[in-house]
Structure 1
Amino acid sequence: MMDLLLRPRIIIDAVDPADIDALVEIHAAGFRRGWSADEIDGLVADKTVTGHVLRRESPFGTRRPQGFILVRTVAGEAEVLTIAVAPGARGRGYGRLLMEEALRALYRELVPEVFLEVDENNASAVSLYRSLGFVEVGRRKGYYADGKGPGGTALVMRLQLR
């Protein structure tokens, strides 16, 4: 019984401006070029962007972000701008929980389809998206160029919600 009381609770809620520094840290750990506080703050403030943050609530009441997703919706289409999970929190299904929450919100908003781009070499992300029903609809060669080489190819993936 004591174990249940000490188990952290998972909470997914809207991104709060107070989360920005933690989101910058999480994003930087997951991508070759992390986004700055100004970039994330600008997206969070954008009325076309919805952000969800996943928190683990400790028995002591702390709720530090463990991952987040940002989705832009324009003209009836949605695009996953980014999704990232803190390195120490990976492998626990948090990315799936964030995607499912974002997809439920888009479905409630009657958005018919959602797109995303993912590095073709990111096997765990590609597998997650395919398991959620996303299909490849295009490729962008050199999309992930960093000035040190040709850069990786992005898979463009789409999910029909309606």
Structure 2
Amino acid sequence: MRWWDIDRVLELEKDLFPEDAWSRGMFWSELAHSRGAEATRRYLVAETDGRIIGYAGLVAAGEQGDVQTIAVEREHQGTGLGALLLAELLRAATAFECHEVMLECRVDNVRAQKLYERFGFEPIGFRRGYYQPGNVDALVMRLSDPSSSVRPSVQETESND
């Protein structure tokens, strides 16, 4: 993700998360930490026909990574795009030398929970009223050893043929 993607990402963000959408400033702040030798963030977008249809972000702090966001346009949910985005975040966590990855997921988002479980994430607790203003609880999930949960990327597979 680059700064010029923010307006298009915000449109998708507001559509998918109307009550608790991130602000422009939040995205700018995250991107400020995603470049250079001291980078601690990895943000990416998925596009089709020049339109952003998904995005995701990860923060790395020492040996721990934290999935900040994964979003997929409604028309593309259930197509495997969320899994591709998550796999890329786990590759980034491995590159950052994270030994575990954490995330929070709305307790009512069963589809996302199933995706995370397929990658080996396990529920470890709750954060009551985490998502505001709706006062929705978050399920906290953890993945130990993200490097063991990721298959080679399409580019890596093609270069090994």
Is the contact between residue 136 and residue 157 of structure 1 (CA under 8 Å) also seen in structure 2? Answer: yes
- Show structure 1 runs of 4+ deviating over 2 A: none
Separation (CA, whole Å) in 2 of partners of 1:49 and 1:159: 18
Q: Which residue of 2 aligns with 1:52?
A: 44
List alignment gaps of at least 5 residues for structure 2: 34-38, 148-161
List alignment gaps of at least 5 residues for structure 1: 1-14
Give the secondary structure class of the aligned counterpart of 2:27.
helix
Q: Which residue of 2 aligns with 1:85?
A: 72
Is the contact between residue 83 and residue 95 of structure 1 (CA under 8 Å) also seen in structure 2? Answer: yes
Q: Which residue of 2 aligns with 1:154?
A: 138
- Deviation for aligned residue 1:25: 1.2
Is the contact between residue 29 and residue 87 of structure 1 (CA under 8 Å) also seen in structure 2? Answer: no
Q: Which AA in structure 1 matches 2:45?
A: V
Q: Which residue of 1 aligns with 2:90?
A: 103
- Deviation for aligned residue 1:87: 2.1
- Cα distance per residue 1:13-32 (max 9 Å; x no partner): xx111100111111112222
| In the alignment, structure 1 residue 17 sits paired with structure 2 residue 3 | yes
What percentage of aligned pairs have identical amino acids?
34
Q: Which AA in structure 2 matches 1:52?
A: L
TM-score by length of 2: 0.81
Separation (CA, whole Å) in 1 of partners of 2:137 and 2:81: 25
> RMSD of aligned C-alpha atoms?
1.5
- Cα distance per residue 1:12-66 (max 9 Å; x no partner): xxx111100111111112222111212111111123211011112x3xxxx2211
Separation (CA, whole Å) in 1 of partners of 2:136 and 2:28: 27
- Deviation for aligned residue 1:108: 3.0
- Deviation for aligned residue 1:76: 1.5
Separation (CA, whole Å) in 1 of partners of 2:10 and 2:63: 28
